Amino acid sequence: MSMQNDKQFGFEANFDGLVGPTHHYGGHSFGNVASTGNAKLVANPREAALQGLAKMKALADMGYRQGVLPPQERPATWVMRELGYTGSDHELIAAVGNTNLGYLSAMCSASSMWTANAATVSPSGDTADGRVHFSVANLQNKFHRAIEHRQTERTLKAIFSNEQYFSVHGALPMMAAFGDEGAANHTRFCKDYAGQGVEFFVYGRQHWGGTVEPQRFPARHTLEASQAVARRHGLRASHTVYAQQNPAVIDAGVFHNDVIAVGNQNVLFCHDQAFLNAQQVYAELKQKVGANFELIEVPSSAVSVEDAVKSYLFNSQLLAKTNGKQRLLVPEECANTPAVWAYLQHLIHDNRAIDELLVFDLKQSMQNGGGPACLRLRVALSEGEAAAVNPAVWMNDQLYADLTSWVKRHYRDRLHENDLLDPHLLDEVRGALDELTHILHLGSIYPFQRHGSDE
Ligand code: SUG
């Protein structure tokens, strides 16, 4: 089949992050109210991983292409060494923990589970060279996340290794001017997933430009980062839209745009407070996406920004259906927030683009500010491209059984910050990840399999 013919059969695959064995509540993300509000709760890593796997399996069972991205190695002993600690790996953990438990916790964070922040992905229909491009996000705003990108790059290269179809770019410079949070601030509109789409980049601030900025919480992502990603990927200006997030919602806890907006195919589902100069943004989207662009804007009078942040209504997944409509996959917190639930009942009976709800329990991740959409990286592919993906990462009955059994054998069912001092945790994690690289056919991607190197 020629590349040209392949392009007629596009679909969207979701690559969810498998929650790692050190999942805990560290309180590391200033500006993410769930993260800071739930700091030091006791976590259940086993339940967290099983909740994520249940979502992946349910989507695969509905016929959606579903992939798995593996967790990262934590504790990050190589970072401890970079910071001047010495000794055996067990000695490093004790030394860092005795300096400050929060410091150790940051180097143990399982935050790579939120793969919407792994990279920005431009499908082949949008790029100048006709390949699928990935730009790994630098996540420079938070220390515990800034240590993810080298592993993310290795992992993506182990899964999307075929350079005929895929191009994986490393992270942008690690500085505020190029703050990049990946696909959490990126949406794509299209008719056919493998055809030309319109890419929508949302930033929190412009570094060189003096835009209005939030006062309370940080704007993690810059316009300059989005523009650099668009240049690297070879996107067409005629099919690219940039918008600034409303600084007031960042100050209300909307630390990524995917906490207040989600789009798919011809639909943008968002809150009326999501964007600065919203009418201008909608007009440009309509002009570039085309006449069938459908805006479902939720008014503040129906759902407050506070309820949107509490429920994660917009951190939902919009999933294409065969009847031309879309499903909205929301976290259970939506059902527990009366105004949001009432709005959703009205929405699905209103003859708009969304006609079905799916509700999932993702509480373990939610308590750290990670909803359904945070847990997945969207990769639109043609059949030919999908065939070039490492086949061992596609979710199916067998992989679900293997990963469920793997989690049950290796994960603890309670983990508190204090438990991170336990030297056995490191050995447990490495044993688990070693087995995982075999299950997912990844090769030696982890530092402990590479003589401690993260290069
Ligand atoms: O970067 N939370 C993540 C949540 C990421 C959500 N992703 C998207 N919106 N796409 C963050 O703030 C909390 C970790 C802790 O506090 O233990 C954390 O990193």
Q: Which mutation among 120, 368, 416 tests ligand 1's pocket best, with the greatest number of atoms within 8 A of CB? A: 368
Residue 1 pLDDT > 60, yes or no? Answer: no
Is the CB of residue 249 less than 8 Å from the CB of residue 303? no
Is the CB of residue 356 less than 8 Å from the CB of residue 328? yes
Catalytic residue among 144, 374, 410, 417: 374
pLDDT of residue 242: 98
Residue showing tokens 């990840």: 433
Helices (H), 234-313: 247-251, 278-289, 305-311
Residue 233 neighbours by CB distance under 10 Å: 24
Q: How far is the CA of 256 from the centre of ligand 1 (A)?
A: 9
Whether 184 is in the pocket of ligand 1, judged by its Cβ within 6 Å, is yes
Is the CB of residue 21 less than 8 Å from the CB of residue 412? yes
pLDDT in tens, 23-73: 999 999 999 999 999 999 999 999 999 999 999 999 999 999 999 999 999
What single-letter DSSP state applies at residue 8? T
Distance separating alpha carbons of residues 21 and 410, to the nearest angstrom: 8
Residue 2 pLDDT > 60, yes or no? Answer: no
Q: Name the pairing type of β-strands 317-320 and 326-331.
A: antiparallel
Whether 116 is in the pocket of ligand 1, judged by its Cβ within 6 Å, is yes
Residue 7 pLDDT > 70, yes or no? Answer: no
Residue 4 pLDDT > 60, yes or no? Answer: no
Whether 35 is in the pocket of ligand 1, judged by its Cβ within 6 Å, is yes
pLDDT in tens, 229-252: 999 999 999 999 999 999 999 999
- Closest-lying ligand 1 atom to the alpha carbon of residue 109: 17
Laid out side by side, the sheet with 119-122 consists of 119-122, 132-136, 166-169
Measuring CA to CA, which residue among 132, 74, 129, 84 is closest to residue 104? 74
Confirm whether 28 is a catalytic residue.
no
Residue 5 neighbours by CB distance under 10 Å: 11
Q: Which mutation among 19, 32, 42 tests ligand 1's pocket best, with the greatest number of atoms within 8 A of CB? A: 32
Q: How far is the CA of 366 from the centre of ligand 1 (A)?
A: 9
Please report, rounded to a whole number, the percentage of residues in the chain having pLDDT higher than 90: 96
Whether 117 is in the pocket of ligand 1, judged by its Cβ within 6 Å, is yes
pLDDT (mean) for 97-114: 96
pLDDT of residue 351: 83
Rounded alpha-carbon distances, angstroms, from residue 273 to 87, 102, 121, 395: 51, 34, 26, 37
Confirm whether 374 is a catalytic residue.
yes
pLDDT of residue 211: 83
pLDDT of residue 9: 74
- Closest-lying ligand 1 atom to the alpha carbon of residue 139: 1
Is the peptide bond preceding residue 218 cis, with omega within 30 degrees of 0?
Answer: no
Catalytic residue among 12, 181, 224, 385: 181
Q: Name the pairing type of β-strands 376-382 and 10-17.
A: antiparallel
pTM for this entry: 0.97
Residue 313 pLDDT > 80, yes or no? Answer: yes
Buried residues in 268-290 as b, exposed as e (16+ CB within 10 A)? bbbbbbbbbebeebbebbeebbe
pLDDT (mean) for 90-117: 97
pLDDT in tens, 416-449: 999 999 999 999 999 999 999 999 999 999 999 9
pLDDT of residue 5: 39
Confidence category of residue 302, pLDDT binned at 50, 70, 90: very high
- Render 51-89 in DSSP notation, one character per residue: HHHHHHHHHHHTT-EEEEEPPPPSS-HHHHHHTT--S-H
pLDDT in tens, 330-377: 999 999 999 999 999 999 999 899 999 999 999 999 999 999 999 999
Confidence category of residue 379, pLDDT binned at 50, 70, 90: very high
Whether 17 is in the pocket of ligand 1, judged by its Cβ within 6 Å, is no
State the chain's mean pLDDT as an integer. 96
Catalytic residue among 256, 333, 334, 385: 256
- Looking at per-residue confidence, does 9 or 76 come out higher? 76
Q: How far is the CA of 10 from the centre of ligand 1 (A)?
A: 30
Q: Which mutation among 29, 108, 145, 187 tests ligand 1's pocket best, with the greatest number of atoms within 8 A of CB? A: 29
Distance separating alpha carbons of residues 342 and 338, to the nearest angstrom: 6
Q: Which sign does the torsion angle of CA 294, 62, 442, 130 carry?
A: negative
- Three state DSSP letters for 333-376: HHHCCHHHHHHHHHHHCCCCCEEEEEEECCHHHHCCCCCCCCCE
Q: How far is the CA of 312 from the centre of ligand 1 (A)?
A: 13
pLDDT of residue 3: 37
Confirm whether 163 is a catalytic residue.
no
Residue 304 pLDDT > 80, yes or no? Answer: yes
pLDDT in tens, 110-125: 999 999 999 999 999 9
- Closest-lying ligand 1 atom to the alpha carbon of residue 256: 9
Q: Which mutation among 24, 72, 117, 416 tests ligand 1's pocket best, with the greatest number of atoms within 8 A of CB? A: 117
Whether 74 is in the pocket of ligand 1, judged by its Cβ within 6 Å, is no
Distance separating alpha carbons of residues 27 and 37, to the nearest angstrom: 7
Nearest CA to ligand 1 atom 1: 29
Confidence category of residue 8, pLDDT binned at 50, 70, 90: low
Distance separating alpha carbons of residues 14 and 133, to the nearest angstrom: 16
Rounded alpha-carbon distances, angstroms, from residue 7 to 66, 189, 233, 380: 19, 16, 18, 11
Whether 370 is in the pocket of ligand 1, judged by its Cβ within 6 Å, is yes
Whether 293 is in the pocket of ligand 1, judged by its Cβ within 6 Å, is no
